[in-house]
Amino acid sequence: MSGKPRLTYCNGRGRMESVRWLLAAAGVEFEENFLETEEQYKKLIKDGVLMFQQVPLVEIDGMKMVQTRAILSYIAGKYNLYGKDLKERALIDMYVEGITDLMKMILMFPFSPPEAKEKNLDSIKERATNRYFPVFEKVLKQHGQDFLVGNKFSWADVQLIEAILAVEDNIPAVLSGFPQLQAFKIRMSNMPTIKKFLQPGSPRKPPPDERYVETVLKIFKI
């Protein structure tokens, strides 16, 4: 064992991408085990590795962790990205949960049937520009700091920059009415660990394509 966290998932974004983002932002190197067949997935279940028969699976500190929220909370706490006290942690939790609601729409978008893609993309744009991004624009403007909580880099900042870039993959001009978020995006993208993660050849996965969708459907029989 190298001591590095080991991530088991498909070779694509999905629910594991937020884990990759958070580890990378913390400056933590990790290894990946990619599921390519239904048999590999069933073997994990048969071996009792997946508590709820679901991935993502992250092996870290002697644990086999499942459930994305639990994994992310542990990583955030371990690497001091979870606020200085309970109040800051509560704020981070609220922001993360809000962003997660938007990310769920983004995660499901590649699996939309062709006739629903335009409608679903419009829904993502409407939610992003009218419900979620205005919240963070206001937060950043009101407290005038570089980061969402206190004045320290946290899990909430990582989750937000991931969401911004994921929405921009399909709606490039989505930040046109949000100057605070535009500046936030530039700041976050220039942080050394995040800048490294955004470079070609990093563990960051590309936007989902047809091959990724086919692989997921094949493995999990969705």
Among residues 75, 64, 65, which one has the least CA distance to residue 26?
75
Q: What sign does the CA torsion over 129, 89, 198, 32 have?
A: negative
pLDDT at residue 21, as a whole number: 98
The phi, psi pair for 202, rounded to 5°, reads -80, 170
SS (H, E, C) 30-50: CEEEEECCHHHHHHHHHCCCC
Concatenate the DSSP letters of all residues of 88-152 into one string: HHHHHHHHHHHHHHHHHHHHHGGGS-GGGHHHHHHHHHHHIIIIIHHHHHHHHHHH--SSSSTTS
Per-residue pLDDT band for 221 (boundaries 50, 70, 90) equals confident
pLDDT band at 53 (very low <50, low <70, confident <90, very high): confident
Closest residue by Cα to residue 159 from 203, 77, 205, 102: 102
Segment 135-164 shows an average pLDDT of 95
Distance between CA 22 and CA 162 in Å, rounded? 10
Structure tokens at 1: 């064992």
How distant, in Å, are the alpha carbons of 37, 63, 102, 121, 165 from that of 98? 33, 28, 7, 18, 16
Q: What is the pLDDT of residues 107-133, one digit of tens each?
A: 999 999 999 999 999 999 999 999 999
- Quick one: pLDDT band at residue 222, thresholds 50, 70, 90? low
* Banded pLDDT at 92 (limits 50, 70, 90): very high
CB-count exposure of residue 162 (10 Å: 0-12, 13-18, 19+): buried
Q: What is the pLDDT of residues 2-11, one digit of tens each?
A: 589 999 999 9
Question: Pairing relation of β-strands 63-66 and 57-60?
Answer: antiparallel
Is 101 a residue whose pLDDT tops 50?
A: yes
The stretch 193-220 carries a mean pLDDT of: 94
Of all helices (H) and strands (E), which one includes residue 18? helix 17-25
Average pLDDT score over the chain = 94
Render pLDDT for 166-188 as a digit per residue (tens, 0 to 9). 999 999 999 999 999 999 999 99
User: Which residues neighbour 134 within 8 Å (Cβ) at sequence distance 6 or greater?
Assistant: 178
Q: What is the pLDDT of residue 1?
A: 44
In the chain, the domains with their CATH numbers are 6-79+198-220 (3.40.30.10), 86-190 (1.20.1050.10)
Residue 83 neighbours by CB distance under 10 Å? 21
Question: In which residue are the tokens 């893609």 written?
Answer: 117
The answer to whether the CB of 74 falls within 8 A of the CB of 60 is yes
Sheet holding 57-60, edge to edge: 31-35, 6-10, 57-60, 63-66
| The predicted structure's pLDDT at residue 2 | 57
**65: which strand partners?**
58
